[in-house]
Structure formats: structure tokens, C-alpha cells
Amino acid sequence: MRLRELEQQANALSNLYQTFLTRYQEATQQSTFPISKVRVISEAAVPRRASSPRTSLVLGLSLVLGLMMGGGFAALNEFNERFFRTGEDVRTRLGARFLGYLPVFAPAEMGKARGKKGDERPTPPLTPVRSSRMKPEMRLAVEAPASAFVETLRSAKFACDVVLQETRSKVIGIVSALPGEGKSTVAANFAQLLAANGHRTLLIDGDLRNPGLSRGLGFSADEGLVEAVIKGQSWRPVARFDQQTGLAIIPAVIRTQFLHTSELLSSAGMRRLLQDARSEFDYIVIDLPPLGPVIDAKAFAPLADGLIAVVEWGRTPRALVRSVLGTEPAVADRVLGVVLNKVNMKALSKYGGFGSSEKYIGQYAGYYLDYPRKDAA
């Protein structure tokens, strides 16, 4: 019985082996046979667009991302823009009248045509000043009377005449918030413009700590404003005059450091000098020290009929000017207007809003001689 069981088991395993062997041989033989029938499921076609990446999706995401990044950069630039760029900035940030732009004016760009000379009225006691010693930028009002620079000064004169029309002899102070903004250049050219137009004008260098106006005009005097005020003298012994325009000038002669400049500018001697000068001149222009570092201009402000503030374009912070004018009502109440100095006229249009005058600044070039005309060869 045991033998029969083993024989049956052996036969079953042998049959199973033969079955698997037969199937293996059939599969091997079928793999070597060629395919005789092929059925086309779908015809191949030229693709109309790439399967990946999806161009429309990528462009849409890029556009959205670009707008977000552009808006972020614009907001950052607007946040970092802390300076005066346009007249609208002056009106909205300071609430003051905007008088115009004073462009960066290279001496080589001076117009060849000079304006008519004003009536020369040299007073006998006065000593003449040689114009050749003056820096070129100090004589723009005479050398380039048809320039955009001088046109802004005419706007400042018009503002003075309108606001102070009841004042016969006007005392106009030129101020700035920081040193180096060009107030001395503005004062010199403003006074020369007035004198060249036939007005009796006196120019005073009131910056007794850093007399940049006297240096720019090329003075080498022995006495000036300090001596006249301290000694109680009239303006005549210390004044000089410009032979071309008839402008009278009182320089500031500083030999040693003078510590009480604010007291001198607000003293009774200064009042007497101005009172004496009012009887002889139509305009008295005084170049005052900057408002930020010292209080000299603040001390002199009650003696002035009006002040013209000079702000350097793209350099003087708005907060500083607001702080200086906001904390000194005596100064702010006398500000006739603000001029933006050292303006890059080519870049100005980038800061103007849609429809603003800054956008059309290039079309004004034909009216000024410091810019080449578009129709010129």
C-alpha cells in the first residue's frame, strides 16, 4: 500500500512537470513567430501646441507676479522718496506758493544774447565791483535773461509785488533749510534781475558765519555789514556797486569768528541801516543763513517784509523743511513762496502726474534760450 501511494505521487508530479514543460516550449516557440496582423487604433497627427509647459498658464502667472513685484517696488520707491520733486509737493506738503524751477545751469550753456543793460545809477560814494571776479553762476540774470532760470526769478518778483504791493520799499530775505542749496546764487541773480529792470536795489550778504555771497561776487573789502551795524553807520560807506546793472552791494567781511550774529542781525543798528536804505532803494535783498543750523534768519525775520525759500530739488528732506517752517511761525508767515533749485529738467517729467505741467516741460524749451529749439538744425 505504501508503494502504491508513492507510485501515484510520482505519476502526479511527472504529469505536472510534463504539463509545465509543454507550456514553456509553446511560449518559447510563439515568441519567435512574426506578428501577422496589426490593427490601427488611431492615426498619428502633428501636435498643434506643446503638451508642456502650458504657455497660457505660465504667462498668466508671470503677469500677476510681475504686477505684484512692480507694485511692491513702486510702493518702496514712493516710501523712500522723501524729497521735493514737483510743485505739487511744495503746495501739498508745505501749503506754500510754488514759484518755479531753477534748473542746473552750466556756464557753457549761457545764452549768447544778453539782455538790455539796466540804467546805471552809480552813487558817487560807492566803490565799483568788477564783474569779471564774479562766479559765472552769479550773473545768470545778466548773461542769460531769456533762460528758464531767470523766468523763475521773474515769477518770484511777481509774487513779491502782488503780496507786498502796499509796501513802497521791500525787504526780501532769501533763506534755505540746509547749507549748499544755492540760496546765495538765487539772491545774487534775483537782485541783479531787479536792478537790470531799472529798480533801485540793494543786495546785502547777511550770512555772517559763512559769507558765500561775498566770496561768489569776488569781494576784497575792508569793511562790510558787521562794521556798519556795530559802528551805527549808514549803508553808503560799506557798499559797492555793479557798474553794469547799478546794483548796490553790502558784503560781509569776516576776519575772526563772530559768535553773536543773531543779535547783530536783529539789533537796533540793523534796523537803522534798513530804515536808511528804505529811503533810497525800491528793493533790499538780503542773503540769510540757513534755517537749520543757526537761528540768525529766525532772528532777522521780523525785519523782513517777505522771505523766499530755496529748496534743493531731490536733496532736501520734506520733513526737515516742514519742521523748520512749522516751528517758526514768524518765518512761515513771511514766506512768499518756494523755488526748487538745481533741478534736472530732463528727469523732471518722470515725477509729474498725468496732465501736470511737468509732463510738458520739454515743450516749453522753445521759449527759453538755455535750451536748443526742436526746429533748430
Domain 84-104+126-341: which CATH number of 3.40.50.300, 3.30.360.10, 3.10.20.30, 3.10.20.440: 3.40.50.300
Block residue for cell numbers 534736472:
344
Burial class of 30 by CB neighbour count within 10 A (0 to 12, 13 to 18, 19+): exposed
Cα of 220 vs its chain's centroid, Å: 34
311 within 8 A of 183, measured Cβ to Cβ: no
DSSP reduced 3-state for 355: coil
Task: Check residue 118 and report its DSSP letter.
Answer: P
CA–CA dist 36, 91 (Å, integer):
92
Q: Which three cell numbers stand for residue 232?
A: 551805527
Cα of 289 vs its chain's centroid, Å: 21
Using alpha carbons, list the distances in angstroms from residue 160 to 39, 97, 107, 310, 311: 99, 11, 28, 15, 18
Q: What SS3 string covers 39-86?
A: CCCCCCCCCCCCCCCCHHHHHHHHHHHHHHHHHHHHHHHHHHCCECCC
Block residue for cell numbers 509729474:
352
Using alpha carbons, list the distances in angstroms from residue 356 to 103, 208, 286, 360: 18, 41, 33, 7
CA nearest 220: which of 255, 182, 264?
A: 255
CA–CA dist 328, 207 (Å, integer):
19
Using alpha carbons, list the distances in angstroms from residue 82 to 4, 26, 61, 320: 110, 90, 33, 10
Q: How many C-beta neighbours within 10 Å does residue 321 have?
A: 24
Can you give the pLDDT at residue 133? 66
219 CB-near residues (< 8 Å, 6+ apart): 129, 240, 249, 251, 253
Q: Which three cell numbers stand for residue 162?
A: 502782488
Sign of CA dihedral 298, 303, 304, 305: positive
Per-residue pLDDT of the chain (377 residues; tens, 9 = 90+): 999 999 999 999 999 999 999 988 888 877 776 666 677 778 878 877 777 777 888 888 899 999 998 888 777 766 666 889 999 989 998 989 999 999 986 555 544 434 444 333 333 344 555 554 678 888 888 888 888 899 999 999 999 999 999 999 999 999 999 999 999 999 999 999 999 999 999 999 999 988 999 888 887 778 889 989 988 888 888 898 888 889 999 998 887 777 788 999 999 999 999 999 999 999 999 999 999 888 999 999 999 999 999 999 989 999 999 998 888 888 999 999 999 999 998 888 888 777 778 777 777 776 777 543 333 32
Using alpha carbons, list the distances in angstroms from residue 178 to 15, 172, 289: 112, 19, 9
Can you give the pLDDT at residue 172? 97
185 within 8 A of 153, measured Cβ to Cβ: no
DSSP reduced 3-state for 112: coil
3-state helix, strand, coil in the chain (%, to 5): 45, 15, 40
**What is the pTM (predicted TM-score) of this model?**
0.74
Start-end of H helices in 144-203: 148-163, 183-196
Using alpha carbons, list the distances in angstroms from residue 128 to 26, 221, 246, 250, 274: 128, 11, 9, 12, 21
Can you give the pLDDT at residue 78? 64
Can you give the pLDDT at residue 34? 67
CA nearest 273: which of 229, 237, 230, 304?
A: 229
